[in-house]
């Protein structure tokens, strides 16, 4: 099983959206038996919560299933168990490297590194701005490229 873990700060807005969107694309490609998708936060404030209302609203509009998604914090074993750790912004990537405490982090990358010619490097945090639409568009487009990248690299 290839394991992909999306990471943001709170695990209620961006990374659960990426988890649901990417899982949908994996399912549509018939790869759900090969690719496992999860998400987590670098912070612990929202552990146990369902995704933010803004994330749920846009997923509902796009008819993307988010059932069973519940916030959790990144754990040490995520670094050994995940094949791809995809951070939503550069602060998340920096915090992941700190949380790893010396464990391998070569598999940590930024989601928008997969989006060609992106005008953003970081997926903007919608928690305060409320702009879930731009977050969805960035996640949707980059997840297509991420899935293509993983398929080529893993020969699946
Ligand atoms: P996320 O958004 O990292 O995309 O889930 C945030 C959620 C919560 C907070 C900040 C960002 N917070 O400060 O509680």
Residue 102 is predicted with a pLDDT of 96
Cβ–ligand 1 contact at 45 (below 6 Å): yes
CB atoms within 10 A of CB 8: 29
Cβ–ligand 1 contact at 12 (below 6 Å): yes
Number of domains within the chain? 1
pTM of the model: 0.99
Residue 141 is predicted with a pLDDT of 98
Exposed/middle/buried for residue 36 (C-beta within 10 Å: 0-12, 13-18, 19+):
middle
Residue 80 is predicted with a pLDDT of 98
Give CA–CA dist 154/156, Å, rounded: 6
pLDDT in tens, 11-44: 999 999 999 999 999 999 999 999 999 999 999 9
- From the CA of 153, how far away is ligand 1's center (Å)? 31
Active site residues: 8, 14, 125
> Which CATH number fits the domain that encloses residue 106?
3.40.50.2300
Q: For the chain (length 156 residues), average pLDDT per consecutive 10?
A: 98 98 98 98 98 98 98 98 98 98 97 95 96 98 98 98
Domain of 38 in residue numbering reads as 2-154
């Amino acid at each position: 099983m290839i394991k992909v873990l999306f990471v943001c700060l709170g695990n209620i807005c961006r990374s659960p959206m990426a988890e649901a969107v990417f899982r949908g694309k994996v399912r549509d490609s018939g790869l759900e038996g090969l690719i496992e998708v999860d998400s987590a936060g670098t912070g612990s404030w929202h552990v146990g919560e369902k995704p933010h209302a803004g994330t749920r609203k846009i997923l509902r509009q796009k008819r993307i299933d988010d059932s069973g998604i519940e916030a959790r914090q990144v754990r040490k074993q995520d670094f050994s168990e995940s094949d791809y750790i995809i951070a939503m912004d550069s602060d998340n990537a920096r915090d992941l490297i700190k949380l790893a405490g010396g464990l391998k982090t070569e598999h940590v990358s930024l989601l928008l590194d997969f989006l060609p010619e992106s005008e953003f490097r970081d997926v903007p945090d919608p928690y305060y701005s409320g702009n879930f639409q731009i977050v969805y568009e960035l996640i949707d487009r980059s997840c297509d490229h991420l899935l293509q990248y993983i398929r080529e690299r893993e020969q699946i």
